Amino acid sequence: MNISVQLYTVRSLLEKDFWGTIDGLSKAGFKTVELAGLYGNSALDVKEGLVKRGMKAASMHIGFDEARDHLDRVVGDAHTLGLEYVVIPWLDPKSFEGGWKEVAATLSKFAERFEKHDLHLGYHNHAFEFEMHDGACGFETLWENASPKLFAEVDVYWVKKGGHDPVTWLRKLSKRLRFSHFKDFDEKGEFAQVGQGSLDWDGIIKEGKAAKMLYAVIENDQPKIDPLQAVIQSRDFLIKKGLKD
């Protein structure tokens, strides 16, 4: 299990100076990123720019509509970038009349389509998946009915925000687990740098390693300090815990 960083965290910096921000991440020691948009660059430019800095993209987030309506474009970008994993980070469950079973069936079909193009599709959670529907937890229903081809990117903060234990869910989804978003949960229930909140990081890291998870993806949706410094502080904590870039 190595360290990656979700570029959504530094979006305000990327909008002003894309490559200057990537340089800052590189100088801090990051070697792998998870993309959330290309900020006006072509996939080839991003690939070449990362390689020039000794970096790579291991995964990227795509919108639900992109997965449904623009498969060719997503596949083309992913192949150009040289990555194998794409992740849908959000969807509106209210748009599925069949509830979470229909969500599972839909994402499973998407995963099968991506597999035909040598790509793996995953789903990233927020907190709403843990709401109860017809006496069942939405997240439970999703994974009980999803194809084995759909992998999990578990966001530990949002699991906690949804009232559940991140360690337990990492264990439950160990066979599907490829990535996890690492961000902490402070005393107010707000976002914090990894190691600066209340989450059980020893337990989380242990389960990630046991599942042979590929990447611990650092993220902070709304950092209270400079976004670059926020991800650097999280990386420093994980390095001390024995993880590597």
Please give the DSSP secondary-structure letter assigned to residue 53. Answer: T
**What are the start-end ranges of the E strands in 7-97?**
32-35, 56-61, 85-88
Looking at every residue in the chain, the average pLDDT score rounds to 98
- Beta-carbon contacts of residue 105 (< 8 Å; ≥ 6 apart): 98, 145
Taking the C-alpha atoms of residue 73 and residue 59, their distance in angstroms, rounded to an integer, is 15
**pLDDT one-digit tens code per residue, 142-187:** 999 999 999 999 999 999 999 999 999 999 999 999 999 999 999 9
Taking the C-alpha atoms of residue 138 and residue 201, their distance in angstroms, rounded to an integer, is 25
Q: Are 212 and 226 in contact (CB under 8 A)?
A: no
- Beta-carbon contacts of residue 30 (< 8 Å; ≥ 6 apart): 3, 4, 5, 55, 231, 235, 245
* Alpha carbon separation from 13 to 21, 39, 92, 98, 142 (Å, rounded): 6, 11, 28, 40, 35
Beta bridge partners of 192: 184
Q: What pLDDT, on the 0 to 100 scale, is given for residue 196? A: 98
In 3D space, the residue among 74, 70, 93 whose CA is nearest the CA of residue 85 turns out to be: 74
Q: What pLDDT, on the 0 to 100 scale, is given for residue 134? A: 83
Beta bridge partners of 217: 4, 181
Secondary structure element (H or E) that encloses residue 153, with its range: strand 151-155
> Is the pLDDT reported for residue 205 higher than 90?
yes
Please give the DSSP secondary-structure letter assigned to residue 244. Answer: B
Which pLDDT band holds residue 58 (cuts at 50, 70, 90)?
very high
> Is the pLDDT reported for residue 95 higher than 90?
yes
Q: What letter represents residue 240's amino acid?
A: K
Of all residues in the chain, the percent with pLDDT exceeding 70 is 100
Place of tokens 């970038």: 81
Taking the C-alpha atoms of residue 232 and residue 228, their distance in angstroms, rounded to an integer, is 6
Angle between helices 18-28 and 227-240 (to 10 degrees): 20
Q: What pLDDT, on the 0 to 100 scale, is given for residue 133? A: 87
Of all residues in the chain, the percent with pLDDT exceeding 90 is 99
3-class DSSP state of 127: coil
Domain architecture of the chain: domains with CATH: 2-240 (3.20.20.150)
Q: What pLDDT, on the 0 to 100 scale, is given for residue 83? A: 97
The pTM of this model reads 0.98
**pLDDT one-digit tens code per residue, 114-137:** 999 999 999 999 999 999 988 999
